[in-house]
Structure 1
């Protein structure tokens, strides 16, 4: 057997590359290294802007040339760092040497020792990861997540008035509307969205054990906590964590991944429900020209986008749970368990983003079969038993009825029995209740017994 040409091991880098490529801009190894270069360059600029150690602020043109080290970061830079790391056996040290080389090219050798000044690797890593995760979430993942919510909102509003038989415990139950049921997911997802949007992206920049010891040794009279806070929050736009060990404690990451995993659980529920509605015939699937549903059964249109979404959400959820479990702990002042773990952040978000792509496409390919919903309702008149026994109770309290046990009366009529419109009308007309109550009940149908479902959707989800 011949050996295959080099192939990607992960499906995210192979079959699904196009769908998740926006994330690789940030959460790939190259994206991480570019952010590390950015941190090193901006820290040096910040030190000179602060006029430390007799330096003066660099001219704007010089800053712009220096910033090209990360702004024009491409394949040549990727290869250069990879070659350097093969020698250093240390990824952050390779980045330091890369920046030193750029300084030399610009005639700034006199500033070389300000590269990685007083930093431990985690100072650079915590800021680089915070930058890449923040950008990946805000620029790639959140737009896709919001897109699914808004698409679902539009469908919910469109179908707010579409009466549907509920199925609690899988059994016929009080009618609702399809729009209201989908609106529940919109409401749930919006709450989680708010939490994700309020994420704090924390970083530390306080040296080997979080004490600014090297900083003070170099210049005891400088307020280093203020200098580093200004750098993290001002230059990088992150949130500064002032009290850490050698590493930033990763609690913000755990919180973020828990929220994204929570969102994934809701979306998983959505995918399963829509799959079930399709199997019931409530939704029809719009054929895609040229697509094949089954290799042997030509008639089939399989709900594969919702099935694929389920699977990808399960993988993403498992990875996010592992990230949260691992990153929350570090032995004493530092261990390296977070190093390999954090390199899988992109994989977790990749499967999550792929699921969002699946769901968005799936929602585009379904149409409500209103006639099927109405036929289903018309075959289940017994669901009006709830309304009848509740009205009787009200009539008893109002003194217009002497019926002793309304619930038992309706239970005897409907439990385990199928009844139709005529039987129910005959039953209602024979009840000991007021005429107005009888008129309301006789006029009621399963399709009209949907309470405030439509108005709740329009009031809560309309814009």
Structure 2
């Protein structure tokens, strides 16, 4: 059935799907067509395992394989309208395409959620390995490049929205790259744990035990065809914690992207102006203010995170299923694909923005200079304490108040204060340089940046 995308209801299918290549890639795993395709793959794997046990011939496997290739979503939906059961509809559609001799072996010994949960684990595993992780690695590499490029770019650090101590913008980028890297590692670990089942209606292998003395081994054989392992124990469904952990890992990736975007958005404020989004030649920032250049991409990332992050609550609710299974996760479970798709669209957007980020080092230096004469308060206090001053912190605190009240530089006041001459005399050249040249007070920001970048590149082979 052909449909104009602008007649779709979900914004992911119209507003955020205009990039056709990405939308097509997402469709391979997250569309309804993909859902049925992966379920059909599980049905085929079951028949292959039955043939491997001699229950049916390999000719049956060939028939089912061809039938699966010819399955169309529309016909499955038409059959479901008649049967009121999605998996039975799929099974019937496969059976219609094969010989009478082969039909008994389709879905033999399986229950619906042997197919549904296994297919979901399979498609999310493959989507993550083939689509999501590579996209995240591209973004990660871009952030690493920026960290290297800006490893010496002076920036004032901020805590609680206030100027704190200087660092470099490279270290800021390395910080976000490190968080993203750790989330990718976590995602890979979690997705490798996604598992399937072929344990029957209540998880007791009732049906398969009619054929095999070792139904658990048979389950392993079915899942091996798909590159999955069985859950340690199941009811009618795979224990929900595996999918809960998977979605949680996606949401925490989303959180890193949103935090980064929120920081960059604030740095783009008029009065700060340290970073900026790329602005296309014909792009309009406001319908009434022609001069506006709004951080729309960073704001979109945060907005998408706000859309999908709360759905994690639903995943926690879906941990509850009455006895061996109820249907209270039947509808909600279908929306996991939207979370993964929303994340992918956000990663794609942020990669483009990051690759064309404007960094205003001059404005960073100007903003640093606003606090240049106060930020030496920390090293001054530490130097004085180390030199034996009995109450260095209180002394420096009062000195900062005096500097602020009299409109003087902190450096001027300490040079003129005879009370601390003996303590300052104990400082070496490097320590004095830091006091009188606050630009040098960046700790090991450069070295940490290089260390982080090198470590991540080595671990990921970038």
Say whether the fold is shared (TM-score over 0.5).
Answer: yes
Match of 2:400 in 1: 414
* Equivalenced residues, count: 438
For 1:266 and 1:356, how far apart are their aligned partners in 2?
A: 11
For 2:183 and 2:40, how far apart are their aligned partners in 1?
A: 33
**CA deviation vs aligned residue, 1:245-275 (integer Å, no higher than 9, x gap):** 1111221100111111122222211111111
Secondary structure class of the residue paired with 1:213? coil
For 1:93 and 1:273, how far apart are their aligned partners in 2?
A: 50
1:67 aligns with 2:53: no
1:41 aligns with 2:44: yes
Question: 1:448 Cα shift?
Answer: 1.4
**CA deviation vs aligned residue, 1:283-342 (integer Å, no higher than 9, x gap):** 1333312111111222221110000000001111112331x2232110111101121111
- 1:161-240 to structure 2, matched below 5 A, reads 161-199=152-190, 200-217=193-210, 219=211, 221-232=212-223, 234-240=224-230
Question: 1:431 Cα shift?
Answer: 2.4
Pick from 1, 10, 27 the counterpart of residue 30 of structure 2: 27
Secondary structure class of the residue paired with 1:240? coil
For 1:7 and 1:28, how far apart are their aligned partners in 2?
A: 16
1:91 aligns with 2:86: yes
Distance 1:123 1:427, change over 3 A: farther
Contact 2:95 2:106 in 1 (8 A): yes
Match of 1:57 in 2: 58
Distance 1:460 1:281, change over 3 A: same
Contact 1:204 1:242 in 2 (8 A): no
Contact 1:315 1:351 in 2 (8 A): no
Question: 1:182 Cα shift?
Answer: 2.1
Secondary structure class of the residue paired with 2:58? coil
Distance 1:363 1:6, change over 3 A: closer
For 1:247 and 1:376, how far apart are their aligned partners in 2?
A: 57
For 1:336 and 1:103, how far apart are their aligned partners in 2?
A: 31
**CA deviation vs aligned residue, 1:375-414 (integer Å, no higher than 9, x gap):** 2222211101111111112222xxxxxx332212211111
Pick from 358, 377, 398 the counterpart of residue 349 of structure 2: 358
Distance 1:452 1:360, change over 3 A: same
Question: 1:90 Cα shift?
Answer: 0.9
Distance 1:421 1:409, change over 3 A: closer
Distance 1:207 1:154, change over 3 A: same
- 1:13-24 to structure 2, matched below 5 A, reads 13-19=13-19, 21=23, 22-24=25-27
For 1:260 and 1:389, how far apart are their aligned partners in 2?
A: 44
Question: 1:175 Cα shift?
Answer: 0.9
Pick from 415, 423, 427 the counterpart of residue 412 of structure 2: 423
Moved over 4 A (4+): 62-65, 427-430
Distance 1:5 1:437, change over 3 A: closer
Distance 1:424 1:239, change over 3 A: farther
For 2:313 and 2:141, how far apart are their aligned partners in 1?
A: 27
Match of 1:82 in 2: 77
Match of 1:390 in 2: 382
For 1:438 and 1:420, how far apart are their aligned partners in 2?
A: 22
Match of 2:252 in 1: 262
Match of 2:96 in 1: 101
Match of 1:343 in 2: 334
TM-score (norm 1): 0.89
- 1:121-132 to structure 2, matched below 5 A, reads 121-132=112-123
For 1:419 and 1:143, how far apart are their aligned partners in 2?
A: 54
Consecutive unaligned residues of structure 1, counting only runs of 5 or more, are 397-402
Match of 2:294 in 1: 302
For 1:315 and 1:214, how far apart are their aligned partners in 2?
A: 42
Match of 1:142 in 2: 133
For 2:353 and 2:415, how far apart are their aligned partners in 1?
A: 45
Q: CA RMSD in A?
A: 2.3
Distance 1:332 1:203, change over 3 A: same
For 2:139 and 2:308, how far apart are their aligned partners in 1?
A: 17
For 1:376 and 1:428, how far apart are their aligned partners in 2?
A: 28
Secondary structure class of the residue paired with 1:329? coil
Distance 1:5 1:172, change over 3 A: closer
For 1:172 and 1:428, how far apart are their aligned partners in 2?
A: 26
Distance 1:450 1:71, change over 3 A: farther
Question: 1:174 Cα shift?
Answer: 1.2
**CA deviation vs aligned residue, 1:64-117 (integer Å, no higher than 9, x gap):** 5642444465xxx1222122112111110011111112222xxxx212111110
Question: 1:223 Cα shift?
Answer: 1.2
Match of 2:312 in 1: 320
Question: 1:435 Cα shift?
Answer: 3.9
Contact 1:206 1:242 in 2 (8 A): no
TM-score (norm 2): 0.89
Match of 1:250 in 2: 240
Match of 1:399 in 2: none
